[in-house]
Amino acid sequence: MTVFADGHDIAPDLRADLAHRNIPVVDGRITGIARHGGHSATVKLDTGPDVAVDILFAHPPTKPSASLHDSLGLATVDTPLGIVLKVDERRETSIPGIYAAGDLATPGMPSVTTASWQGAMAGIFAQQSMLA
């Protein structure tokens, strides 16, 4: 296994833990990936030689597919996983009465199951806010 930092800072304690596990960290930004059929690929970097890999697992940054959150003026948070809407424990956004769930509110858990239960919770809390 190899970790590609892709220009992100990796905390010294995490680097030490990876080194202890004999997992190399490659610094620099990824500029491209060349696929060679099957599972093999070459990761191209801006700082050094290309790195051949047998299997590549990637987590591209979360990016909203629409701009509704911008139009509404909802607060966002930049994370290493991309842009997310700022929500509280009730799934309410920075504007009272607007709730969010799913990938854009929880980038680390991209799944239908997560989006479903978060959506159900957001609906319950939205209903409760209308009854109060």
In a domain, 62, yes or no: no
Q: How far apart are CA 118 and CA 19, in angstroms?
A: 37
Tally of domains in the chain: 2
What integer pLDDT is reported at residue 40 of this predicted model? 84
What is the b/e burial string over 55-85, where b = at least 16 CB atoms within 10 angstroms of the residue's CB? eeeeeeebeeeeeebeeeebebeeeeebebb
Question: Tokens 């239960």 identify what position?
Answer: 117
Domain interval for residue 26: 3-53
The backbone torsions φ and ψ at residue 9, rounded to the nearest 5 degrees and listed phi first, read -75, 135
Domain identity same for 49 and 102:
no
Predicted TM-score (pTM) of the model is 0.58
**Amino acid occupying residue 50:** D
Domain identity same for 77 and 115:
yes
Q: How far apart are CA 5 and CA 27, in angstroms?
A: 5
In a domain, 39, yes or no: yes
In a domain, 61, yes or no: no
Domain identity same for 74 and 125:
yes
Domain identity same for 49 and 75:
no
pLDDT at 110 over 80: no
Domain identity same for 115 and 80:
yes
Domain identity same for 78 and 127:
yes
User: For the chain, how many residues are written?
Assistant: 132
What integer pLDDT is reported at residue 73 of this predicted model? 94
The Cα-based distances of 96 to 36, 74, 92 in angstroms read: 50, 10, 7
In a domain, 103, yes or no: yes
Model pLDDT for residues 54-98, shown as the tens digit of each residue: 887 777 777 777 888 889 999 998 887 788 899 999 999 999 999
